[in-house]
Amino acid sequence: MAVGDILNEGVAARPLRAAAWLRPLIWTAAAIVTLAVAIAPDLIDLPRPQGALVFDRASYTPVNGSARDVTMPHAIYISFREVLPSVRYVFKFEPQAGAQDDLHVYVPSFNRRIKLSVNGSVFFDSETETIWTGAFISSSSLIQIPRAILVAGQNALTIDVFDVDRFAVPVHLSEVYVGTAAALSWPFKLRVFFQSQLKIMALAVHFVFGVGLIAAYFFRPKDPLYSWLAVFLIVNMLIAIGMLIGWQPAVRSFVLLFTVLAPAMGLLFIGFSLALVGLRPPKMLAYMAIAITGALVPFTFVDTTFSKIVLAAIGGGVTIASLCAAAMVFAWSAIRRGDTDAGLMLPSAFLLVWFAVRDTFVMATLPAHGFNLLIPYVRPVFFSFLTVVLLRRIGVTLDQLDRANENLSMRLAEREAELAIFHRQEKAKTAHLVREQERHRLTHDLHDGISGHLASIIALSERTGDKSTEQAAREALNDLRLVIYSLDLDDSELPVALANFRDRLIPQLHRLGIELDWSIAGLPEVSGVTPGNALAILRILQEAVTNAVKHGPARRIVIRASAAAGDKVMITVENDGRAFSESGTGQSLGGHGLGNMRRRAAGLQGDVTIDALPHGTRLTLLLPRRFPAFDDEAAT
């Protein structure tokens, strides 16, 4: 392995080791924060009023029962043998003599409809004056006592509690305070904020996020996550409505119908948890939710203690068991599979389970700190974590989409480049085919037309004895054949062109009594050969042979081809005639012969040199192994 690879591997491994080292700390910190959130609410005790009368004992009288003294706060548990539509609490007090401020009654916590009266005169009824109330929520009230109903000396404050046996949830009534607004308003405002307003805000968050997520389902109806989440949120919102406004006259008869949805909510939460971690929820969960709800609905129409206990036991048991199962799904996926989304949802799932168990215990036993259900506060926490998870998924999806777009763009660019190359190749093939067709047509026309005419001229000149005309016609015919042969060449076919040139040259020289020594075995491969390139080379060689014959006069011509230094190709033409001389005493290239040869060689990026030998002349043609693009007109 190279040193650079080792260093790169070390650099890549350090973040992984750091992440492995940091992961337990993150889990520990999350567990500590989650436990703190779970325990803190029960450790917080709201301030009590100072400078007010505290009623911690009362005369308690059930309907058709005898009065007895009880300690406040007081709880009433539902009984199989006793029917209690209402009960009464009576408190005795004496207003402070000479007090100028109005007196108020402060009831910190109650979970049924209450009616307040002093000396038999009713001045408050929670049914008409309290919006957020019900068996599953603790309400708080601060009511001014009208001066007109107070008497000097001892007064009797009566609190009537109604619908005692309507639910299996026990009745809870806290201690009662009587005092001035200054003494009672601050504790009352704090309790209203924490006990009612926060729950209302939590419900508002539930509705805002719930409606948004339900709407998201219509954009992804085939996604199991959004399907299960949408149904879970709808059921959860119905239960939340029943918990918060259960004693309002318009919905009082439907409260029990809301409560039977609790098991369905738990089972739907299991389906949501499975969909979130990438597992397909079984349809049996949906069938069980419908079946359990349908089985519990008849119990809502049976107004007996037994039916209410059955509703409470089955509803609470199935809901808590379902929440525990969903939390275990998140924990398993987060710990065993390293699922980030499951890890993010695990704290909120744990809090849901914890507060569900804790609130069930509170509703069943009513501990000393009072009736204070905390599960409504978990809604913002749950939606916060759910929002983080969904936004993270959107971010991951967008990143994947960006990468996919980049890959598609790269692949599209590659395909466009391939198409462009293919187009150029096809265009070149088409042009080549057209040229080939035109070349063959031209070759046939030249061979059948001009060539035939020149042959007729030669035959006529032989009969008439006109040697000059015959010689001119033969030279024209040879040149025409040279052009025709060069037209029928492809790339790397220079040896073919030279072979054709040799085959035509041998009979001409033989007729003149000149020996030809030909060898191109050492010719290396030459590419880029076009008809124009080949014609230019052949014309140079033809000019060299013609000069050897005319100005030699040569008796032997040697033509060789071989590789030369500098990645060149060398073709030499030697003859044994007179030595070359530009002064005219030996072989000379009259007219434009040498200039034409050099011009043609320069067009091929080559060069022509002529050297005088002791007994003759040598022409050397140097050419590249790859010819440049060549205009066929340059060969003329």
525-548 pLDDT per residue, tens: 888 888 788 888 888 888 888 888
What global pTM score does this model have?
0.63
Summarised one tens digit per residue, pLDDT across range 328-342 is 999 999 988 888 899
490-636 and 53-190 share a CATH fold:
no
Mean pLDDT of 351-365: 88
> What one-character-per-residue DSSP string does 418-473 give?
HHHHHHHHHHHHHHHHHHHHHHHHHHHHIIIIIHHHHHHHHHHHHHHT-HHHHHHH
pLDDT, tens digit, for every residue of 425-468? 888 788 667 666 656 655 655 555 555 556 667 666 666 766 66
> Residue 248: pLDDT band by 50, 70, 90 thresholds?
low
Q: Is the pLDDT of residue 58 over 90?
A: yes
Distance from C-alpha of 343 to C-alpha of 333, rounded to nearest angstrom: 8
What pLDDT sits at residue 507? 86
Average model confidence (pLDDT) for the chain?
A: 82
State pLDDT tens for residues 567-603.
899 999 999 888 876 554 445 454 567 888 888 888 8
Q: What is the CATH number of domain 53-190?
A: 2.60.120.260
Bridge partners of residue 562, in order along the sequence: 570
- Tokens linked to 368: 């000393």
Third-level CATH fold of 490-636: Heat Shock Protein 90 (3.30.565)
The ranges assigned to domains in the chain are: 53-190, 197-404, 490-636
598-630 burial code (b ≥16 CB/10 A, e <16)? bebbebbebebebeeeeebbbbbbbbbeebeeb
Give the residue from 415, 45, 308 showing the smallest Cα distance to 195: 45
Q: Give 18's pLDDT tier (boundaries 50, 70, 90).
A: very low
Identify the residue with better confidence: 147 or 367: 147
pLDDT value of position 81? 66
Confidence check: pLDDT of 63 > 90? no
Both structure tokens of 452: 């035939």
- Confidence at residue 517, expressed as pLDDT on a 0 to 100 scale: 92
What is the rounded average pLDDT of the residues 290-306?
A: 84
Tell whether the model's pLDDT for residue 117 goes beyond 90: yes
Mean pLDDT of 220-249: 82
349, containing H or E segment: helix 340-365
More confident residue, 566 or 275: 275
Please give the share of the chain, as a percent, with pLDDT higher than 90: 30
